[in-house]
Amino acid sequence: MEKFKTAVILAGGKSSRMGFDKQFIKINEKMLLETMISKLKKEFDDIIIVTNKPEQYVGSSYKIVSDEIKGKGPMSGIHIGLKESSSKYVYFVACDMPNINIDYIRYMKNTIKDLDVDACITKVGNKSGAEHLNAFYSRDLVSEIEKLFLKDCRAIVYLTNKVNTLYIEEQDARKYSPNWDMFININTKEDLTSYINSLDG
């Protein structure tokens, strides 16, 4: 099995603050999801979209899957993404995280390629905060996630605290994204407007 072949976009969620489904955001008449995929294809052979509306992707050239264990938030998406992947390590990003940073993805890959870790995520500050997406997870974690679901532990931090997680320090990550925009989320219409304005700037 190859080490780094698969990227997964988590496109579920309720999008309650946006007012419409974030997985269908369009910018300049182009689906944001398609823009993200075109960037990810530079680094990954297989793209998986985890969605709660698979019927909207009929005819897609990408693998479209839905949560196998529902109602557990983003970790449900990580679970099915890992199960459907074709590589040991799988890159995960959310559909509302528009700034795909290929240089940072390559840095993470190079950091863990010769190590035996379960996850690679980025710390925030000197405390326990961390960015759990724009991150890599091992396919070997499927059973660990299922054990956590049996205890109704659905936050990703339960997983990363339990397994062998490699944390990249914020100061090292900022070399690739000084303004931290590779972790921004578009959660509201205001966020979307701000992001579009930043593209024009």
Positions at the binding site for Mg(2+):
96
The C-alpha atoms of residue 91 and residue 6 are separated, in whole angstroms, by 7
187-194, Cβ contacts within 8 angstroms, sequence gap of 24 or more = 187/17, 187/18, 187/22, 187/96, 188/17, 188/18, 189/18, 189/19, 192/18, 192/25
Give me 144's structure tokens.
């660990």
The C-alpha atoms of residue 201 and residue 192 are separated, in whole angstroms, by 14
Give me 160's structure tokens.
């990363």
The C-alpha atoms of residue 69 and residue 76 are separated, in whole angstroms, by 6
Residues placed in the known binding site = 10-12, 22, 67, 96
**3 has which bridge partners?**
none
Handedness of CA 162, 164, 170, 174 (dihedral sign): negative
CB-based contact 17:187 (threshold 8 Å): yes
Residues placed in the known binding site for GTP = 10-12, 22, 67, 96
